Amino acid sequence: MGLVKISEPMHDNVRVASGALNRSINAQAEHWLRIGMMAELNPELKYGELCRLLIQDEIRAEAQMSEMPQKARA
């Protein structure tokens, strides 16, 4: 885990959005980082499409975890 310094105004924006969307400040910042990175890599996609890709990735990751033996997950 690393440390990222952001401006006070951006931190205020993250804090407000995290409260509104019921996420931790870190989770909200990570969400925006992931969306921003995906938007740069896929400029033709809209926000909703990027979110759909994130959801599909999460579903795949959970499916892979459920296929692992119990001992390997611990």
User: What are the structure tokens assigned to 28, written together?
Assistant: 């909200």
Q: Are 14 and 28 a contacting pair, CB within 8 Å? A: yes
Q: Are 15 and 21 a contacting pair, CB within 8 Å? A: no
**What global pTM score does this model have?**
0.75
Give φ, ψ of 34 to 5 degrees. -65, -45
The tens digit of pLDDT for each residue in 17-42 reads 999 999 999 999 999 999 999 999 99
> What was the pLDDT predicted at 2?
83
